[in-house]
Amino acid sequence: MDSYLIQVNGRGDHAPMLDVHLKTNGNSISLGKVKARKPRWAVRASEMSKKTFNPVRAIVDSMKVEPNPKKAMISLSLGDPTVFGNLPTNDEVTLAVKEVLDSGRYNGYAPSVGYQSCREAVAAYYNCPEAPLTAQDVILTSGCSQAIELALAVLANPGQNILVPRPGFSLYKTLALSMGIEVKLYNLLPEKGWEIDLEHLESLVDEKTACLIVNNPSNPCGSVFSKSHLQKILAVASRQCVPILADEIYGDMVFADCKYEPIATLSTNVPILSCGGLAKRWLVPGWRMGWILIHDRRDIFGNESNADLCYAALSAIPGLQPVRPAGAMYLMVEIEMEHFPEFENDVEFTERLISEQSVFCLPATCFEYPNFFRVVITVPEEMILEACSRIQEFCEMHYQGAEGAQDLECDK
């Protein structure tokens, strides 16, 4: 049996970098005889690293200007509210973290989605009747940057495109290009308080559009969208069936005469991943605390995995006994051969499944385990459902109940 371990690591402050390790220790994999080769160092930068580009660093690092020596330098460039020490975080925040450290109870590995109590706290803070949230809908991340990275990775495949504001925060493009995702820039209109040019936005949508990034309140614009503008953005997303990645790291940071509306509170049908964190609102960017809030009231992202769908569909078929999987990409199905007397073995069963239904599953004799076949579950959902219904038709056609099987016995 093969076992796979896939690890994805964000690396410290190089958020755009992704380490992907694939380890396999299956005994069915044999390397065979390899010709002796003289080892030679050939360590090259990966394709991904070559596609990773931070425009801010590229521009700023190449600026070779010396400030006027007669005047003290005033830097208005870094979006870090802690630099001058004039905006300390609240004592309660510091105290809460001190208590956690002193307790000694949180020095171990947390669950990969975050501690339950912490997810509950974030859910309780953002939960409201218009956009209900439970702990299940909260994924804790290493800063909002990792939240954006994960959200992009889950929404878009290489070759697809995403819609990104111009002017906009550079991380979106940096992450997307490193993942092989195309970026299409939609315009913001300065004369309209940096509202989105909705016509331009909608004109960019095509069949490869995986998501729309909405950053509100905005970096670098400092703008806050009105409720009616957000509704118009949602109308575009809804019409075009494009999910939204909302970067709401500056949520609640609005001036007194203005109101911030979380975009998820204004829609019941558009699926929205809202990314946020403690960095800006609580003035602690170095703590790297972020989250994704999953708003998907119509279950458009899907709450049933292919494994569950496939298992449920195959369980209902007479003569088959699927074994519920817990990982990897496969599901094994036992064929109750006594109910299929026409077929000699799993190889013949799967051959006929191809010739009659054009569904190809490997007979488990390939894995030294006869009378089973293996289903690969990583195909698109519609495809796995169609395959299951064809397997059902096939089994119903050839299934012999207890009596049938006995008749056959008697004939012998």
Rounded least distance, CB 195 to ligand PLP, Å: 17
Rounded least distance, CB 374 to ligand PLP, Å: 42
Q: Tokens 């992450």 belong to which residue? A: 175
Contacting residue, 215, 216, 223, 306, with ligand PLP by CB under 6 A: 215
Smallest Cα–Cα separation from 136: which of 166, 162, 114, 105? 114
Orientation angle between helical segments 171-178 and 143-155, nearest 10 degrees:
40
Interface size with ligand PLP, residues (CB under 6 A):
14
The bridge status of strand 244-247 relative to strand 272-277 is: parallel
The bridge status of strand 330-335 relative to strand 372-376 is: antiparallel
Backbone φ, ψ for residue 357 (5° rounding): -120, 0
Is 16 a binding residue for ligand PLP by CB under 6 A? The answer is no
Only one of the segments 51-59, 143-151, 299-307, 357-365 lies at the binding site for ligand PLP (rule: CB under 6 A); that segment is 143-151
Contact by Cβ (8 Å): 79, 249: no
Residue nearest to ligand PLP (CB): 143
Contact by Cβ (8 Å): 217, 164: no
Q: Which residues pair with 141 in a beta bridge?
A: 290
List binders of ligand PLP among 280-319 (CB under 6 A).
Answer: 280, 285, 290
Backbone φ, ψ for residue 18 (5° rounding): -125, 125
Distance CA 322, CA 384 (A): 14
Q: Where are the beta strands (DSSP E) in 108-181?
A: 138-142, 161-166
List binders of ligand PLP among 153-172 (CB under 6 A).
Answer: 169
Only one of the segments 3-11, 139-147, 321-329, 348-356 lies at the binding site for ligand PLP (rule: CB under 6 A); that segment is 139-147
Is 322 a binding residue for ligand PLP by CB under 6 A? The answer is no
Instruction: Rank residues 276 and 363 by Cβ distance to ligand PLP and give the closer one.
Output: 276
Is 223 a binding residue for ligand PLP by CB under 6 A? The answer is no
Rounded least distance, CB 81 to ligand PLP, Å: 10
Contacting residue, 16, 243, 277, 319, with ligand PLP by CB under 6 A: 277
Which residues are at the interface with ligand PLP (CB under 6 A)? 79, 143-145, 169, 215, 219, 247, 249, 277, 279-280, 285, 290
